Amino acid sequence: MRKLGPAAEARPEVRIDRSDVGRRVSVRSLDAVRDTATGRPVFRDVIGLLTSWDDHGLTVVRRDNTVAEIADAALVAGKVVPLFPARRAPLPEATPVELQRIAARGWPAVEQEPLGEWTLRASAGFTRRANSVQALGDPALPLPQALDRVRQWYADRGLPALIEVTSPGSPEGLVAELERLGAGLDQTLVRTAPIAPLTKVGRAPERVRLSRTAGPRWLSAYRRAGGDPALDAAAAQVLHGGPSVWFATVPAADPDDTPLAIGRGVIDGAWACFAAIEVQPAARRQGLAGSVMAVLAARAAEEGATGGYLQVEAENAAAIALYDGLGFTTSHTYHYARLPRS
């Protein structure tokens, strides 16, 4: 049994402490207002994610993302509760175009500009997804002119001109025009799975902590960050962008060390994105990737999502095998094409 802090020891019904920040809890607090009819004290119960706890009190985020702030002195009882019990439901309906647009909202570029129905995106070079034109629909220009505009827009920002080509979704003739220009194509798979089964894949979900922010420890485990100030600033903006963003961490034994595993989830209505699922080499084969996925999926289900998606490069056999085992199947593909300089 772990040792509780002084406040919890003084209140035996408080079976949580600050080490539980990032876990799902049930908390009861004493309301400052008494029942007007009886004069009896009024208690408030809250279930949600414990996101902070300091000398002033604690904060719990409910399933509807409203925030309950509870003074430490008002805390009467508290305990860790199981992950949200997600009910089985079919995948939401979404076309490849709709899913690509949802994914773009979950990984929003620092700078965006429309080109007809296309979207030009730039983020100081942080990831291809946030530094490519999303070529969905009609660019409102003949394709050769549209691609010239794309090439110039990225050249003005010192970036390569990347095109995100979705099949189906991008305009007819785009692939042929890119091949004529000598632009190579790198394939990415968009994979989907129902949320409910994902909440049960982890072996040790109690080790995972959720946060609204990617702090220094989380970023220390993220392979794409670190080094260049402009790139790091863009990464921070992109990572924290999206409708409802959560960062998962499996802390090391020493909390000051690099986490054993991390992940990022974004909930957007019926869909949840899973990204940045990374496990330190020495911590692999312990089921930590599945635990991270399970906790992110449970929070997504708690907010109403029934389908999950992720994006994985076609040549990443290890990741594809992992996601196969978790029940993901391929919805559609897209490619990144790099325009040669004119």
Specify whether 125 is located in the same domain as 195. no
Alpha helices in 132-228 (DSSP H): 143-155, 174-181, 195-198, 216-220
Last residue of a domain, one of 80, 111, 140: 80
Query: Is 58 part of any domain?
Result: yes
Specify whether 281 is located in the same domain as 326. yes
pLDDT computed for residue 5 by the predictor: 47
Specify whether 153 is located in the same domain as 177. yes
Specify whether 33 is located in the same domain as 164. no
Prediction pTM value: 0.92
How far apart are alpha carbons 242 and 240 in whole angstroms?
Answer: 7
Which phi and psi angles does 19 have, rounded to 5°? -70, -10
Could you report the average pLDDT of every consecutive run of 10 residues in the chain (342 residues)? 47 91 97 72 94 96 97 95 96 95 97 98 96 97 96 97 93 92 89 97 94 94 80 94 97 93 98 96 93 97 98 92 92 94 74
pLDDT computed for residue 167 by the predictor: 84
CATH number, domain with residue 51 = 2.30.30
Which phi and psi angles does 65 have, rounded to 5°? 70, 10
Specify whether 292 is located in the same domain as 222. yes
Query: Is 338 part of any domain?
Result: no
> How does strand 162-167 pair with strand 133-134?
parallel
| Overall domain count for the chain | 3
pLDDT computed for residue 3 by the predictor: 42
Query: Is 89 part of any domain?
Result: no
Host domain of residue 41: 6-80
Last residue of a domain, one of 186, 221, 248: 186
Query: Is 87 part of any domain?
Result: no
CATH number, domain with residue 204 = 3.40.630.30
Asked whether 328 and 310 are in contact (CB, 8 A), the reply is yes
Query: Is 138 part of any domain?
Result: yes
